[in-house]
Copies of this chain bind each other. A is one copy, B any other.
Amino acid sequence: MRRSALRRVGRVLVPALVALGTLTTQAAAATRDYWVAAVPVQWDVVPSGTDPMMGTTYPKSQTRDWTVVYRLYDRGWRHPRAAGAVPGPLIRARVGDRIRVHFKNLDFRFRNSHSMHFHGVHYAFPSDGSYIPGISGRGADVRPGQAFTYVLRAGRDSVGAWPYHDHGPAMDASIAGGMYGMLSIISRRARWPDREFVVALSSMRGFMTINGRAFLGNTPVFRARVGDRVRWDVMSMGDDFHTFHVHGHRWLRGGVPEDVRTVGPAESFTVSWRERSPGAWYYHCHVESHMMAGMIGLYVVGR
């Protein structure tokens, strides 16, 4: 075959193969099912009972109480797949995926209605999950013992990390008690990071918490190794604005380097890098009074 003929064939075949690839990818778009329940748990904001930076100790009466959180279950809510915790399970998807979150309210302690409201994803109005007097439906007011399935779709404009939280009639108290979690969505062909750290910043029982815990020794210790692709999924929930900071690292935002970033209630963002800096680095909210009230943790990078 002559060269020009080959080129002509290429011009036809390459787009066709690309289209085929797209089809294959679309065919691979999954439906992801998550089974989640609202469950009462005893939650301790300061399990160690102490702030090692200031040497203060806190009695359990001040740090521990019953609250309601989201808990991950297997199909049909038969067996829990993780402890009920703050934040709730990380819900992961790729662009194009359909996500079904089967939610059951097992709050037989406080007997409040609950719901799930998801940021960042596409859904029809019945899956909005927010209580509007006289307008919203069952998914916004799931009573104890009842269930509802939220049907979501990850669009191209869903890439990132997003909050979900109770938006039922008792939303305000539920969020103060820890009824929130995160979605993590990557593009169709992206690789998941080697390490993904969920950082949910919130006030709880007068403490400033990361994932429901206050002070070194209680807040998460995130770990990575040099060479890892790490990603931080950061959000705030509640009433407070925070400034997220990681020591010894920087990232780009719209091409501009930064190492501190404001995050207000229900705002969220991801920062990512290839790890190159071994050490025991603080990550913390840089609002001084929040840091002193517990919003500080360690990020340990090994060689």
Contacts and interface: CB of A to CB of B under 8 A. Distances in A.
A159 B252 CA distance: 11
A151 interface: no
Interface centre among A124, A259, A291 (most CB of B within 10 A): A259
B243 A298 contact: no
Nearest to A123: B248
B132 A298 contact: yes
B256 A267 contact: no
A26 to B, nearest CB: 20
Nearest to A163: B260
Contact of A265 (B268, B277, B288, B298): B288
Contact of A267 (B243, B265, B282): B243
Contacts of A242: 264
Interface string A274-287: 00011111100011
A282 B130 contact: yes
B257 A286 contact: no
A134 B200 CA distance: 26
A4 interface: no
Interface residues of A, number: 69
Given A52-B133, A248-B125, A250-B120, A265 B282 contact: no
A169 B55 CA distance: 11
Interface string A105-138: 0000000000001011011110010111111000
A241 B239 contact: no
Nearest to A134: B52
A187 to B, nearest CB: 11
Contacts of A257: 120, 157-160
A262 B241 contact: yes
A243 B260 contact: no
Given A125-B248, A157-B257, A239 B133 contact: no
Interface of A: 52-53, 117, 119-120, 122-125, 128, 130-135, 155, 157-160, 162, 169, 171-172, 175-176, 216, 238-239, 241-243, 245, 247-248, 250-269, 277-282, 286-289, 291-292, 298
Given A132-B216, A260-B268, 13 more contacts: A125-B279, A128-B248, A128-B279, A132-B280, A132-B298, A157-B250, A160-B256, A239-B288, A241-B264, A243-B266, A260-B267, A262-B263, A265-B288
Closest 8 CB pairs of A and B: A125-B279, A266-B286, A262-B264, A243-B264, A254-B254, A157-B257, A260-B266, A157-B250
